[in-house]
Chain A
């Protein structure tokens, strides 16, 4: 056997692992989606589309979808506005601390999601850093509602996806080149015009890539909407968890899970198409 024909053997351990812990449970999920729920609330083995039909006729499913899409879009946009300048700085800097700064930028990834949420509660809560500061400055009389609502969830989500987006942007900045900026400057473009006509267009593929990733991560996030939402924020991920655990309604949870998966796949395909189009 030649070396190149032996190469796929490297994939065997991971494939076996994923077959057992991912593919097999996923098949179980698909199977559950065709089951029904009896009048007692117990699951009834069946091969029907009845669960799917009722789920998609429920207006709440539609509301959850809009909530998820809107939350993800806003969180991604905020994170992008914050991550883009940071990535551009990291990509261009000649500082000898560049490596260290990059680690600092992605540090939040190293902290558990639950711990991060409690950090945000300490900062944004009624007696948190923001409210006490604003109150002692006399700018507000009653504390602002910054947690246990959409505001808190959006802030928390934007922060949690930022490191991933910074990494995606850095990976996508391949075509940016200092010499191109110098060429633009020498041809009469001011620093702003250089950004507008050279840097921004050349970083669009990176932006599409990072936005796609941030969006997918926001759509599938559970901890942040659950804990920072305080039970008032309903998105697809929290609903799936509720149906599966609190209601033990596995068929509905399975239908919603597959629906979310299809949404995400569609979004990934679109974001890849956009990125590839921009790359040309």
Chain B
């Protein structure tokens, strides 16, 4: 049995089901992201884990003992809220000390651990300030320190970086990840930002409509999406409608593609896995190939996006910047390894 086990968790609000049959095993020291669009049930799952809401069905087990019915204040979970939820009437130091005071830790020990907490998030010397005197990033760190000093069984982060500006978010991502690794603390991280999920966690659970659509490593999720939703939500994908030729073989843009023919389905290929080659270059045995005309090339800093138009649609190829982008209007061939092709049925609408 894993350190943390969620089994068949369900949460209903009236007739709508927010979380439906979510099961998840997390090993000690592991960081797992719950990734999904808003309303997918990821925050509800986290709040059930913290004991802030009660599940209608299912069980939660921590380190071998069941915690499903345990009230929030007895669970020892460090929760970092999206809005930070710092106590406005207490100084930074008292905020961080709050959980330790509730645990009856001695004064001297509290002072020592508050100082350690402040040092961990690099806020030494600010313990006398009030939360409102701090910047958003500093408040975020205080919230993190407050959750960490209680030495929680599990650290729960709820969209914790979404209120920061892009640059600060990037820095905090690495900082939180390194703290998580150093302390070896089991972490659940709720986010709608795939970059956050991909960079900060060992495994990612992609949630969709209250269920876990796929769980796996960043590479699993990105390169081997299990469902159409995962393929569309994580990263970018070219979605090419599949058709059949006279002999029943699969085609895209009236050109043969090496995948199993299917009805009402689309071919998914990541733009980074595609390459542009001259039309004259022959196709290899294990590559797929489509020809089209370059509509335009857009320089996006670290890469160049080339938009290629064929008979019946467009696709995007991401080329590393620095490589010569083909001129607009050129006829080109787009090739990719056969193994990079995914076929997903269209959802019945």
A interface list, Cβ under 8 A from B: 175, 177, 179-180, 182-191, 193-194, 197-198, 201-202
Contact = CB atoms under 8 A, between A and B. Distances in A.
A201 B73 contact: no
Given A177-B85, A202-B89, A182 B73 contact: no
Nearest to A197: B98
A162 B270 CA distance: 66
A189 B102 contact: yes
Given A182-B81, A193-B102, A188 B76 contact: yes
B235 to A, nearest CB: 32
Given A182-B79, A193-B102, A188 B73 contact: yes
A193 B103 CA distance: 12
A264 to B, nearest CB: 29
Given A179-B81, A179-B83, A182-B85, A187 B52 contact: no
B146 interface: yes
Interface residues of B, number: 26
B87 interface: yes
B72 A186 contact: yes
Given A175-B88, A186-B79, 6 more contacts: A184-B87, A185-B52, A185-B72, A186-B77, A186-B147, A188-B99
Interface in B60-109: 71-79, 81, 83, 85-89, 98-99, 102-103
A208 to B, nearest CB: 14
Contacts of B72: 182, 185-186
Interface of B: 50-52, 71-79, 81, 83, 85-89, 98-99, 102-103, 146-147, 150
Among A182, A184, A187, A198, find the residue whose CB has the most chain B CB atoms closer than 10 A.
Answer: A187
Contacts of A179: 81, 83, 85
A188 B102 contact: yes
Nearest to A278: B89
B89 A186 contact: no
A187 B150 CA distance: 8
A184 B81 contact: no
5 contacts: A177-B85, A180-B88, A185-B72, A186-B75, A187-B98
Contacts of B74: 188
A184 to B, nearest CB: 7
Contacts of A191: 73
A191 B74 CA distance: 11
Contacts of B89: 201-202
A186 B152 CA distance: 10
A27 B147 CA distance: 62
Instruction: Decide if the interface of chain A is mainly helix, strand, loop or mixed.
Output: helix
A51 B241 CA distance: 100
Given A175-B88, A202-B88, A202-B89, A183 B81 contact: yes
Q: What are the nearest 5 A-B pairs in CB distance?
A: A187-B99, A183-B85, A188-B102, A186-B79, A185-B72
A183 B79 contact: yes
Nearest to B82: A179
A185 B81 contact: no
A186 B87 contact: no
Among A184, A186, A197, A201, find the residue whose CB has the most chain B CB atoms closer than 10 A.
Answer: A186
Contact of B87 (A190, A193, A198): A198
Among B52, B72, B75, B83, find the residue whose CB has the most chain A CB atoms closer than 10 A.
Answer: B72
Contacts of B146: 187
B300 to A, nearest CB: 38
A197 B97 CA distance: 13
A278 to B, nearest CB: 9
A202 B89 CA distance: 7
B97 to A, nearest CB: 10
Contact of B102 (A175, A180, A187, A201): A187
A190 B73 contact: yes
B28 to A, nearest CB: 20
B52 A186 contact: yes
Contact of B78 (A175, A182, A186, A194): A186
B102 A186 contact: no
Contacts of B79: 182-183, 186
Among A175, A179, A185, A188, find the residue whose CB has the most chain B CB atoms closer than 10 A.
Answer: A188
A177 B84 CA distance: 12
A134 to B, nearest CB: 42
Nearest to B96: A187
Contacts of A186: 50-52, 72-73, 75, 77-79, 147
A202 B71 CA distance: 23
B4 to A, nearest CB: 16
Nearest to A193: B102
B76 A180 contact: no
B139 to A, nearest CB: 12
Contacts of B103: 188
A180 B95 CA distance: 11
A62 B219 CA distance: 84
A186 to B, nearest CB: 4
A125 to B, nearest CB: 47
Among B71, B77, B79, B87, find the residue whose CB has the most chain A CB atoms closer than 10 A.
Answer: B87
Contacts of B81: 179, 182-183
B12 to A, nearest CB: 16
B320 to A, nearest CB: 44
Among B71, B81, B89, find the residue whose CB has the most chain A CB atoms closer than 10 A.
Answer: B89
B88 A184 contact: no
A198 B71 CA distance: 18
B263 to A, nearest CB: 47
A46 B123 CA distance: 71
